[in-house]
Structure 1
Amino acid sequence: MKSIKILYIIRQAEFGGGETHIKYIFDSIDRDIFVPVLVSFRAGYLSDYAESLGIKFYLLSDKFYLLFFNIIKLIRIIKKEEIKFIHAHGTKGAAFVLLPAVLQNKKLIYTVHSWSFHPELNKLQIKLRLLIEHLICNYAYRVIFVSQKDYELGEFVSPEKKLLIKNGVDVARFFPFRNERFRIENGYTGNDFVIGFFARFTQQKNPLFVIQLIKSLVSESQQSKKQFKLLMIGEGELKEQIIEEIKKNNLENYVKILEPSFEIEKYLQIIDCFVLPSFWEGLPYGILEAMSCGIPVVASRETNICEISNCYDDSFCEPIEVEAFKKRIIQLANDSNFYLRVSENARKTIEKNFNIEDSIIELLKIYGKLKVQKE
């Protein structure tokens, strides 16, 4: 059977939801039929993984003044690799590949992991980003949304182009299992209640809030039968500030920071609770993967996060306030029956509503149509 090459482009190939999404695609598609080529503005977690699979990776410059050279380079990549169609993830990747796609007459699939015109921006920034999103969506062959909220916000996208394919998790890989040996190797005892924060260390993900949270939990540990610890996995521009806050608050014995890992499920097997106090989100893989492992979640009351919670009997969305998060975590630590119920419901929710097999089947329908058109 004749193979076709697909160019995947994303802003950064580091540690995050969009990158996890592409990794799932690479793991799930038949790479003898659909041959991936990865392009990004930063190398990292995803590009390393892609190259370990034998997938070609091209690095663009992240300097704005090299915009023209990036466009020329993308055109050359499309020609050299004989790319048949393009799958862009996120606004920056889609925006940069738009002109090369037009000039080379290539179909563009655009996956919206989260609209770029989020409420934290000023009015001018929102207008500019809306214009960019309009241009991308007007040209795109299909626009895929991973959350219902973003699907509804995309009123300007032609109905025949819009598809809702929610993020899904490999439930066979992410399953409930407590790895006591690995837990001990990482310095945790049976009396520790380990809170996990596995995300980029950026303003959006709000990691400094998590430091304030663990500080408060440690200072009031007498309210719980457990000793609270925090495991942070990630990278990002706030890392140095996080380390400073840990030292300033004498939390070195309570907080551990690790680099991003290809085997994130191993670390989910040693935590007791997962937190994500983001200001905005798409449909976060961190929460989905934790729930698939039966790990209770406490997260911000953000619409896309609550979309997961709405499928779930035990709502976990809280206002971004230390006291609200702390109250929920202490309840989980102290009440084993409540913890077990939340854990079991989390796993059932993922199996029923967020299975990667369902997501890939829908994506392959689009790829299949484009493959037939090319033939």
Structure 2
Amino acid sequence: MTASILRICHLQLLPLLSGVQRVSLDELERLDAQSTRVLVCQSRGSLTEGAEASGASVIVIPELIREIHPLRDIKALVCLWKCFSREKFDVVHTHSSKTGVIGRLAARLAGVPCIVHTVHGFAFPAATTTLQRKIFHAMEWIGARCSHRVVCLHEDDARICRDELRLPDERIEIMANGIDLQKFHPLSLEADRDALRVGACLPAHRKLIMMVGRLWEQKNPACLVEAYCQLWESGDPGADLVLVGDGALKESLELRVKLAGLEPHVHFLGWRTDTPELLRLCDVFVLPSRWEGMPLAILEAMGCGLPVIVSDIPGNRHLVRHAENGLLFPVENTWSLTSALVELLENASLRIRLGAAGRAKVEAEHDIQKRVRNMEALYRDVLSAGG
């Protein structure tokens, strides 16, 4: 990175460490340490702790909220504009839908010379009403016009930028997500998995099905819980379910498990910092999302050599080819997910083959070190071109 990039700001909404937030933290941790790195966030939490541990500083803007609220949103816009004007950032890099729009508008008003936004899946294609879709589309259109570059994780989102937001090609970058291949790797052959499972308070002699993600509507954990309950209709499948994450749906999921009498076999672990270790101890990974950008959770599971079963949606299809490096099932189709689980639980050689193919893909295409170097090059290009 050239000396001209002195101050870099990443803007996030929530201080969690789910997929979108992990993208910011991975980049903040690996950007040139000679630059000043700053995270702006709604409040403090595991994300801000991770940012500070990496040497970045944190600015809290409590006015940022997820829901559309005109008064609060105007206050957030003013606060961000004042922050960006005061801090004189060279780069403001935004994430998330609504926060990304407000942040880009504030950065443009503050005269920030390099404004970049990463699309983690557009909200408006998944809108449930025409009015909602029009509002979300208008917001993204405004945000796009305030961006020097919009980073898309795959071609489908780049096509939306071109066709629906009318953004010219020179302002669109396609840059896939990456993971730390040294952290997310398969379990070594000499490791005692049974002992490690006991240490992690997981059953040693049962197969483990795992999901990592926020327990809310987008990730659709209810589909997985229902599929797991259906597995038991033919008797004990010899597998437990492990859910890593938390969210608004946790209570309803726990109730469904209780009604099925499966509480001893479903493990709600909450948010964890030892996800790589937990992934290595499991046998199958599932992500039944309704929509995605490019989920780190899938990449991390593939990096650990796990066979994956994921919903057949654009963000997932760019990572998983059915029967080549994982299995796809129609979104919301619980019975298809159940069938895929049976197929993998009963076929060890298929699990090994799909897991190895997944690991090979992330090694070839999704190294976080390469992604961060490419992002730094993008910043330099924008700054050298004056926008």
- TM-score, structure 2 normalization: 0.89
CA distance in 2, matches of 1:285, 1:311: 18
1:119 aligns to 2:126 (yes or no): yes
**Structure 1 match to 2:170:** 160
Match of 2:226 among 212, 237, 250: 212
Q: 1:30 to 1:181 in 2, by over 3 A?
A: farther
Q: 1:354 to 1:217 in 2, by over 3 A?
A: same
CA contact (8 A) 1:233 1:257 kept: yes
1:174 aligns to 2:166 (yes or no): no
* Displacement of 1:120: 4.1
**Structure 2 match to 1:82:** 88
CA distance in 1, matches of 2:145, 2:373: 25
* Displacement of 1:190: 4.2
* Displacement of 1:298: 0.6
What do residues 118-137 of structure 1 show as CA deviations (whole Å, max 9, x unaligned)?
A: 23421111111111111111
Aligned-partner SS, 1:205: coil
CA contact (8 A) 2:98 2:139 kept: no
Q: 1:251 to 1:44 in 2, by over 3 A?
A: farther
**Structure 2 match to 1:332:** 344
Written as runs of structure 1 = structure 2, the 5 A alignment for 1:21-100 is: 21-33=23-35, 35-60=36-61, 61-62=63-64, 64=69, 65-100=71-106
Name the stretch that deviates more: 145-154 or 172-181. Answer: 172-181
Written as runs of structure 1 = structure 2, the 5 A alignment for 1:238-317 is: 238-310=249-321, 313-317=324-328
Q: In the alignment, residue 162 of structure 1 is paired with which amino acid?
A: I
Q: In the alignment, residue 306 of structure 1 is paired with which amino acid?
A: R
Q: 1:101 to 1:57 in 2, by over 3 A?
A: same
What do residues 293-315 of structure 1 show as CA deviations (whole Å, max 9, x unaligned)?
A: 11010111112211112398244
* Displacement of 1:72: 2.5
Aligned-CA RMSD value: 2.1
Q: In the alignment, residue 109 of structure 1 is paired with which amino acid?
A: V
CA distance in 1, matches of 2:374, 2:300: 20
CA distance in 2, matches of 1:221, 1:49: 43
Q: 1:254 to 1:282 in 2, by over 3 A?
A: same
Q: 1:270 to 1:122 in 2, by over 3 A?
A: same
Aligned residue-pair number: 370
Aligned-partner SS, 1:118: helix
CA distance in 2, matches of 1:173, 1:221: 37
CA distance in 2, matches of 1:217, 1:185: 27
* Displacement of 1:276: 0.7
CA distance in 1, matches of 2:219, 2:194: 29
Q: 1:117 to 1:343 in 2, by over 3 A?
A: same
CA contact (8 A) 2:286 2:309 kept: yes
Q: In the alignment, residue 231 of structure 1 is paired with which amino acid?
A: V
Task: Return 5+ residue gaps in structure 1 as ranges.
Answer: none
CA distance in 2, matches of 1:108, 1:2: 15
* Displacement of 1:168: 1.3
Aligned-partner SS, 2:282: coil
CA contact (8 A) 1:15 1:199 kept: no
CA contact (8 A) 2:243 2:269 kept: yes
CA distance in 1, matches of 2:12, 2:248: 18
CA distance in 2, matches of 1:4, 1:17: 27
**Structure 1 match to 2:214:** 200
What do residues 192-233 of structure 1 show as CA deviations (whole Å, max 9, x unaligned)?
A: 1111110011101111112112212233245x5xx2111111
Match of 2:333 among 321, 324, 330: 321
* Displacement of 1:247: 2.1
CA contact (8 A) 1:273 1:295 kept: yes
CA contact (8 A) 1:221 1:228 kept: no
- TM-score, structure 1 normalization: 0.92
CA distance in 1, matches of 2:322, 2:171: 26
**Structure 1 match to 2:153:** 146
Q: 1:331 to 1:99 in 2, by over 3 A?
A: closer
Aligned-partner SS, 2:126: coil
What do residues 307-343 of structure 1 show as CA deviations (whole Å, max 9, x unaligned)?
A: 1123982441112322222222222222222221111
CA distance in 2, matches of 1:336, 1:91: 41
Task: Return 5+ residue gaps in structure 2 as ranges.
Answer: none
Aligned-partner SS, 2:125: coil
What do residues 157-193 of structure 1 show as CA deviations (whole Å, max 9, x unaligned)?
A: 1111011001112112111116443311234344311
CA distance in 1, matches of 2:18, 2:203: 29
**Structure 2 match to 1:235:** 246
Aligned-partner SS, 1:57: strand
